[in-house]
Chain A
Amino acid sequence: MADNPYSPHTDADRAAMLDRIGVRSVDDLLTAIPKDARVKQLGVGPGMSEQEVQAHLEKLAAMNKTAGSGPFFIGGAIQRRYIPAAVPVLALRGEFLTAYTPYQPEVSQGTLQAVFEYQSLMAELLAMDVVNSSMYDGSSATAEAALMAVRLSSGRKKVVLATEVDFTYRRTVRTYARGAELDIVEVPTADLAGNADGAACLVVQHPDAFGSLVDVRPIADAAHAAGALLVQVTEPHACALLEPPGALGADIAVGEGQPLGIPMSYGGPHLGIFACREALVRQMPGRIAGQTVDANGTRGFVNTLQTREQHIRREKATSNICTNEALAAIHAAIYLSLLGPEGVRAAARAGVARAHSLAKRLAAIPGCRIANDGTFFDRFTLATEMGGWDLRLALLERGIQVEASASHYVDGKRRGRDDVMIQCTELTTEADADALVDAVAEITGSRQTVAAR
């Protein structure tokens, strides 16, 4: 009997295989390995039955407080949204789930067409010319956008990031920049245009990390006037209601595709959206599916423009990316095709409507105000007299989960804003909103009472 439950070999099979090879044991095949390096014991403990493993994992899962278990307002790039039942049923079919990169297009048309359709749907949503088949996530997509802009700039190494870009993205850009030794400058969104000189690109987020709407066009104009590219970080649902990156002058648009039917899963696997203007496609990172015909003239799809990629160009490739997030792209395509234009707009409008209604109620509480610069989309920052960290903790004690905006400024020390951030989506209920309003009133009220004594 096998020790690995997925091993098909009987003792007789093993004996017959060894016999055919002409050795007495597998050890005879391992003579190239230094004897003293052979493992005696891993020390990982005994295996479990499937039933035991399931119970063990359930026990671990029970130690978490899920987003759906109470009022939940954490969001940003990663959002708790409604996932139609058909999305996982289709996307997790074994034919998609257990295939790999479509190296043999004749037996991979399902993947290739689904990815081609994802590229087409996403290009429509963003109003961009070309979308690649996926990056790891929004943060690596943003970093790769900066690297691409530097390659296209013929010699510039300055990348100007708005401080209102999601902090994970900014930190990831900084990490990636250590490789090419780029000069990363962070300035408030309002100062982006004034810092375009000598930059390879300006990176703006709209709606920004705190939910504020940004007037992107003048920033794009300033970038272009200085010979720089405009990289816009965006969100898929926002693009259904807001003028999309392609209409705002973005040369490269990136973002996190997770809200399109992909579970949050504590951070991944998610979907890095990467789009650009057609003229820039030869410098684009990542795989791209393209249309072609087969020997009979029938329409089909292949991975194309592969001379950009590492398996062909090695150190001259546009990126090192190989394994990507194709399955997440398929999730997103199924989501978009199920919801259609009206459904995506409806989901997006629900977030906007609930955020604005909730903000109004919270702002009416003494000592509370909305701290966004100008109009916001479907999330906002709530400033109170107590710090964001403390309010977050007090809310958590009441079973309500929010994010502290100060976490966007952690870089060895706390600085900047000290508010909480409130994200709404179509899953935010009236009861959730009531609970938050009551709790904030109670927490800040009791604090005021204490202060008054």
Chain B
Amino acid sequence: MTTVTGAPVQRAKRASQTIPDSGADTHGPALEPLLFELARPGRSGRHVRAEKTGDVPEKFARKTPLRLPELTEPQVVRHYTHLAQLNYSVDAGMYPLGSCTMKYNPKINDRAAALFADLHPRQSYRTTQGVLALAYELEQLLLKVTGMDFVTLQPQAGAQSEFTALLMFKAYHQKRGDAATRRRIIVPDSAHGTNPASAAMCGYEVTTVKSDARGNVDLEALKSALGPDVAGFMLTNPNTIGLFEERVREVCDAVHAVGALVYGDGANMNALLGIARPGDLGFDCVHINVHKTFSTPHGAGGPGAGPLCVKAHLRSFLPKPWIVKEADGSYHYDTAREDREPERVGDSIGKIGKTLGNFGVLARAYTYMKTLGEEGLVETGRDAVLAANYLLALLRGKYDVAYDRPCMHEFVLTAARQKKQGSSALDISKALLDEGFHSPTVYFPLIVPEALMIEPTETEPKETLDAFAAAMIRIAERIEKDPAAVHEAPTKTPLRRLDEVGAARKPVLRYRPA
């Protein structure tokens, strides 16, 4: 049985495969043995030729046993094929994980990135003109989409981009001479956890301001939190409730009025594509999660890439090096030309990783932007908003809406009603797995009790949205009749609910070969 999403509702367990020596606390058959359990001494492939020479001096030689498993290639292929089959993925079905923008990942992007696989980041610019051309063009595209002036491609994820930006804020205030007194970063209570964590890594104290009844930053609360000791304010727009900040310009003005800077968390940029640009709204910078907005695959947790786009007044603090395009159409870096002394690093905060970050991810994002072009990118934002509002309309009757006004690309339901009836957001999320869907983000944002944060994205067809809504409504109706009915969910997944408390109490973080 499959749903319209194409995701198998029930996968067959390979019950014939049991753990050879399963240890103390397991009772049932394993879904798939561990590599170590499949191995037998003497098995191996022949992927590289054995070397007769290549001994290292005895003093340095490894004496510690190297207990890696010994397997044949067919075993390895079956093992990972079996593991893959235990995963839910965008390729298999709708993945409405709020704030993660799990849109379809076009396959051409992967093939395009592979064209740049055999290049080392320390090659001369003379041998990487194609890389630099792509990166330079991508920079221009990102600036047009965000309305910013300059960009660095170095950050390898959104969180690293936040950290980069806050280091730049610090450098900016240092240059102006008041960094010592600006010790605080303000975040809304709806912010992603990475925001306060990034601020803390920069040595800042974090002040949280509350949201108002319409789901916006409470402007009065913000104003009373602002002062000459504030370095910056971090704002996600649309925010994590999926709502556009209605007074975003007043918010930015208030922050600027005390000499602080506004950081734009671009996690939800998909909603604004072709609709509005952070650079026109008062932000001093914004990062882009290309693995969200620009369709690069999320890779089971990563990689991503988090280019940081900034206004001109922050340019000099950007990580180095920068790409320079000459009048003749050739490219080089401003700090590493072999034939002349490098330019000064100046105000730059330095390097936060390899020169062009996760270039393989950026090449995918570039491919996507070139494929869609103006019309496609504009349609993307509008379709994301359309899909979310449509799904919200379908679900409004059976679930309570945290802040009920037109949403952007995602919306947040609260399962408060279901909680009173005896089931939780967690139960609903697990029941959805039995329905063949991935769960929404649950228990975030923190300001909404029993939150279910749903982001359908623009690539799910109407019939899938209908099927998802029907599943959500079935679950709500089951809870109305018998709340206990979903307490056992999921029952159709490869495994039942997992003991996370036990995992943390007695951590088993690796297999230890005998």
Contacts and interface: CB of A to CB of B under 8 A. Distances in A.
- Whether A and B are associated in the same complex: the answer reads yes
A257 interface: no
Interface string B482-508: 000000101001111111101110011
Contact of A293 (B86, B248, B498): B498
| Most chain A beta carbons < 10 A, residue from B29, B89, B344, B345 | B89
Nearest to A34: B249
Given A4-B458, A396-B127, A242 B60 contact: yes
A265 B360 contact: yes
Interface string B149-187: 000000011111011001100110000000000000000
Nearest to A41: B374
B301 A326 contact: yes
A179 B48 contact: no
Interface stretch (A8-16, A190-198, A221-229, A362-370): A8-16
Contact of B120 (A23, A67, A307): A67
Interface in B52-93: 52-57, 59-64, 66-71, 73, 76-77, 79-81, 83-92
Contact of B495 (A29, A67, A109): A109
B228 interface: no
B124 A174 contact: no
A322 B157 contact: yes
Nearest to A63: B130
Contacts of A313: 193, 197
Interface in B82-127: 83-92, 95, 97, 100, 102-106, 108, 110-124, 126-127
A407 interface: yes
A44 interface: yes
Interface in A242-286: 242-244, 246-247, 263-270, 281
B47 A338 contact: yes
B476 interface: no
Contact of B66 (A61, A62, A240): A240
A341 interface: yes
The secondary structure that dominates the B interface is loop
A148 B461 CA distance: 46
B504 A29 contact: no
B87 A412 contact: no
Given A29-B406, A54-B108, A340-B43, A109 B163 contact: no
Given A60-B130, A174-B350, A350-B54, A412 B342 contact: yes
Interface string B182-202: 000000000011101111111
A385 interface: no
A306 interface: yes
| Most chain A beta carbons < 10 A, residue from B84, B385, B441 | B84
A429 B400 CA distance: 67
B352 interface: yes
Interface residues of A, number: 212
A140 B167 contact: no
B84 A67 contact: no
Given A105-B498, A327-B299, A341-B66, A242 B56 contact: yes
Contacts of A316: 200
Contact of B354 (A37, A168, A291): A168
Contacts of A309: 193
Interface in B434-453: 438-439, 441, 444
B27 A86 contact: no
B197 A315 contact: yes
Nearest to B295: A6
B297 interface: yes
B469 to A, nearest CB: 10
A333 B319 CA distance: 32
Given A42-B145, A180-B203, A268-B156, A6 B60 contact: no
Contact of A266 (B104, B277, B356): B356
Contacts of B112: 53-54, 57
Interface in B405-451: 405-407, 429-430, 433, 438-439, 441, 444
A449 interface: no
9 contacts: A38-B276, A39-B277, A39-B280, A42-B144, A48-B373, A109-B494, A115-B301, A213-B56, A313-B197
Which 7 residue pairs across A and B have the least CB separation, nearest first?
A: A47-B373, A349-B54, A327-B299, A326-B301, A94-B91, A269-B303, A297-B27
